Structures are given as structure tokens and as C-alpha cells.
């Protein structure tokens, strides 16, 4: 038994970056040629010039809302909206539906979503039985973890969701080596088993995803003999990052190129600043380039104490889409970013919406010097961009919270 799934996890960081950037132009070119949606989105961009992160950052971000809009537009002719590079048949094993409705293809490659790495880090090994309580109905969550378990050499019990007593009966009789699913359902299973006086001694580890996994629940599970780790994956991208035994953030998967951008824009933020997770995958079947997840996170400094050398992120810190309705008008994070870009003096900006319902007031807080009538000029720009009046408050550099919020809704709804 080794500590690492493969040697990719312990590459020199400079070598990993060089490997990813070397593959990037080919993947961008493939997306342009094989996926009609990206032929349109990336029209006019020379893939051969996308050889570094600066060139990548010049490409547009495609968000889930864009994907859904294109799918809806082409629903009668192409349910995937031109994003899939494979067609129905042997190359496309299954099709899934996520809320929206967004359709996702599953290609034929083993471990299509690359989750074996996360399972291995959580302690699962070949020859074990995995109790999978992710959904197997329409959505891909069950298949995402099952494919990784199979690639690892594990057997899988497809428990799915619900039917708590039947799942507990199977656990008691089959004695699985571990659980995968949401943390809340695992807690329900353990509590129900205790109420039924049903021991589950074999379940000593769990890979959890799909919702927040707070330290309090981690400790609760540990007190009952279950070591829980989490992973971050989506139906579109597969595995993005996973937890290790160090329990210090999530280590990026080896098959993704991640950026953290300012919400509402495609502009990368400095390491450590909270922003939206944007991912480029090297999946040839579903080649998503600069796909905005809508999730907030931040890059952690330094290497993982487990010995893995890839970048770490903090994990899920909330949602990036902070669109807010003010006095009957929608205000978007991108509009705040547009105002900030007009003034080089602004380091960071945060729009705070306050007041009782129907008596909204906006204050744009900017990290900028309060000199030369800057606040008045910024206020004019806010009105021009949003069609709404706003106060402007200049605050010291570094004083705005590092939580990824571009728009803070602080109104009272009582």
C-alpha cells in the first residue's frame, strides 16, 4: 500500500504546470473543432497562442447559465447545446439530467469523472465493497463515484437515496468497507442504526460530497468510528479537488486547470483572495474551457502536509452569483466589476444593499483614496451602469472582507 494514487500527485509543481500548459493549446483547439458551442464562444481566438495563464485568462468564461441557455436554444436539435464532442452510441455510455434541466453526457473512458483518486485518498482500496448512497436516478452523482470505485478495483452496492432501513439492513449483512454519499445522510444512517441497536462495525471510512461537511460533523463521525473525508466534484467537470489525511484544504485533481476569478468577471484574483472557481478540463468528450462553477473558494498557501504537491483550495465557501434586486432593478456582480475597472485607483469594491423592503439604499465601498472628487465620479459611474443611485465610501486598502462577496444584501426582511 502506498500513500499516493500515482506519481502524478508528487510531481514537481513547476513540471505539473508545464505539463498542463503544454496540453492547453491542444485542448482549446479540440474544443473549437469538436464542440460547436466552443467554436462560437472561442471564435477569433488562436488556440496555439493559449500557452500560459495570461492567455487563458483572455478567453471568455462560460458559466452554467450560458450552458443552459444554449441547451434550451438547441433543445430540438442538440440537447447538449453544442458542448458535447461525442455523439450517441458507443462513445456515449449514458446521459444524465441535472436541475435546470441541464443534460450531461458520460463518455466511455474508465473513471470518466476521475474520482478514483479521491477515493484512494479517503482510504479505499482494491477488493473492498463501497456502499454508495448517492442518487442513481437521472442525476450522475451515483455514477460519478461508482465509476471511480470500479477503476480502483472496488465492488459497489448501489444504495441510492432514501429507504434508510433497507440500506441499513444491507450494510449489516454485506459489511461494506466504507460509505460514499452526502454527510447528512450518513448521519441519518448512523443515528437510525443506533436507535435500532444495529452495529455497523465495518463502516470505518467515508468519502462525502454534495453539501457542506463542517468540522463538528467530522468530529461527530470520528467519535463513532468513521473517518470522513470530502471531495469537490460536479456533473460537468468531474473531480475538481479532494481532501487528504492532513485535513488542510482540498488538493486539486491532476486533470484540471483551476483559476479563481473575481465574481461576475473572468479576471483572476491573487492567491488567497476568495473568488469564483473556474475550471478547464482535459476531457476530450466534454471539453469545457474556462467553465465557471458558480462556487466560491480560494487558493491556500504552501504544499499539502500529506506530501501531495498540487495546489490546495479552501473548499466550498458559498455561491458566486450574488445578483440582487434593488428597487425593482437587478444588479449583477459584473456591473460592480465594470464600475471598478473604470477607476485604476480602486483595489477592490463591494456593493452593500441595506434598508427595509421597498426602501433600499446602496453603498459602494471601495478600497481607494478619498481624494480629488473620486467618490463623486464613482457614484456617477454606478448610476450610469446600474441606473440606480448609490453612495460611495472610500475605505483603507485591505479593509473589505475576503469572502468573495461583490454584492452584500444586508436588508431586513422581517
Cell numbers for 384: 450610469
How far apart CA 190 and CA 225 sit, in angstroms, is 11
Any residues with CB less than 8 A from the CB of 1 and at least 6 apart, and which? 125
pLDDT at 412: 67
pLDDT at 414: 46
Phi/psi-derived region of residue 370, left when phi > 0, alpha when psi is between -120 and 50, beta in every other case:
beta
pLDDT at 18: 98
For residue 369, the surrounding DSSP H or E stretch is: none
DSSP 47: G
Q: What 3-state class would DSSP assign to 205?
A: strand
pLDDT at 180: 98
How far apart CA 163 and CA 168 sit, in angstroms, is 9
The answer to whether residues 313 and 242 touch, using CB atoms and an 8 Å cutoff, is no
What burial class does residue 246 get, using C-beta atoms within 10 Å of its C-beta: 0-12 exposed, 13-18 middle, 19+ buried?
Answer: middle
Q: What's the average pLDDT block by block, 10 residues per block, for the chain (414 residues)?
A: 86 98 98 98 98 98 93 95 97 92 95 98 98 94 97 97 93 97 94 95 96 91 96 96 96 98 92 96 98 94 96 90 79 90 94 78 94 93 92 94 90 62
Produce one character per residue of 293-332: b if its CB has 16 or more CB atoms within 10 Å, e if not: bbbbbbbbeebbebebbbbbbbbbbeebbbebebeeeebb
How far apart CA 17 and CA 20 sit, in angstroms, is 5
User: What sign does the CA torsion over 11, 17, 18, 24 have?
Assistant: positive
What burial class does residue 233 get, using C-beta atoms within 10 Å of its C-beta: 0-12 exposed, 13-18 middle, 19+ buried?
Answer: buried
Amino acid at each position: 500500500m502506498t500513500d499516493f494514487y500515482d506519481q502524478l500527485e508528487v510531481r514537481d509543481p513547476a513540471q505539473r504546470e508545464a505539463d498542463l500548459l503544454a496540453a492547453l493549446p491542444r485542448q482549446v483547439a479540440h474544443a473549437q473543432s469538436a464542440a460547436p458551442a466552443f467554436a462560437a464562444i472561442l471564435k477569433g481566438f488562436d488556440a496555439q497562442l493559449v500557452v500560459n495563464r495570461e492567455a487563458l485568462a483572455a478567453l471568455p468564461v462560460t458559466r452554467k447559465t450560458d450552458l443552459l441557455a444554449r441547451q434550451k436554444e438547441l433543445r430540438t436539435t442538440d440537447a447538449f447545446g453544442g458542448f458535447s464532442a461525442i455523439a450517441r452510441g458507443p462513445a456515449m455510455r449514458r446521459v444524465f439530467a441535472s436541475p435546470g434541466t441541464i443534460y450531461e453526457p458520460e463518455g466511455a473512458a474508465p473513471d470518466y469523472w476521475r474520482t478514483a483518486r479521491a477515493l484512494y485518498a479517503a482510504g479505499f482500496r482494491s477488493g473492498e465493497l463501497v456502499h454508495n448512497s448517492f442518487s442513481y436516478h437521472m442525476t450522475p452523482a451515483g455514477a460519478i463515484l461508482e465509476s471511480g470505485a470500479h477503476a480502483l478495483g472496488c465492488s459497489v452496492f448501489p444504495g441510492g437515496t432514501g429507504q434508510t432501513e433497507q440500506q441499513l439492513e444491507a450494510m449489516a449483512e454485506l459489511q461494506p468497507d466504507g460509505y460514499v454519499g452526502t454527510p447528512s445522510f450518513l448521519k441519518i444512517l448512523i443515528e437510525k442504526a443506533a436507535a435500532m441497536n444495529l452495529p455497523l462495525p465495518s463502516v470505518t471510512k467515508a468519502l462525502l460530497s454534495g453539501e457542506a461537511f463542517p468540522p463538528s460533523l467530522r468530529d461527530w463521525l470520528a467519535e463513532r468510528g468513521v473517518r470522513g473525508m470530502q471531495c469537490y466534484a460536479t456533473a460537468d467537470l468531474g473531480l475538481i479537488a479532494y481532501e487528504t489525511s492532513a485535513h488542510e484544504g482540498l488538493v486539486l485533481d491532476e486533470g484540471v486547470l483551476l483559476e479563481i476569478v473575481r465574481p461576475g468577471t473572468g479576471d483572476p484574483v491573487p492567491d488567497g483572495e476568495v473568488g469564483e472557481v473556474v475550471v478547464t478540463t482535459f476531457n476530450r468528450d466534454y471539453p469545457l474551457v474556462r467553465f465557471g462553477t458558480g462556487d466560491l473558494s480560494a487558493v491556500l498557501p504552501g504544499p499539502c502536509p500529506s506530501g501531495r504537491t498540487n495546489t490546495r483550495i479552501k473548499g466550498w465557501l458559498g455561491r458566486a452569483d450574488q445578483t440582487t434586486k434593488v428597487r425593482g432593478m437587478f444588479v449583477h456582480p459584473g456591473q460592480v466589476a465594470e464600475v471598478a475597472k473604470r477607476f485604476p485607483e480602486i483595489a477592490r469594491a463591494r456593493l452593500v444593499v441595506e434598508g427595509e423592503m421597498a426602501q433600499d439604499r446602496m453603498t459602494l465601498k471601495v478600497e481607494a483614496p478619498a481624494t480629488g472628487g473620486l467618490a463623486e465620479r464613482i457614484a456617477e459611474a454606478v448610476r450610469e451602469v446600474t441606473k440606480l443611485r448609490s453612495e460611495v465610501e472610500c475605505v483603507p486598502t485591505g479593509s473589505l472582507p475576503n469572502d468573495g462577496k461583490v454584492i452584500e444584501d444586508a436588508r431586513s426582511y422581517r
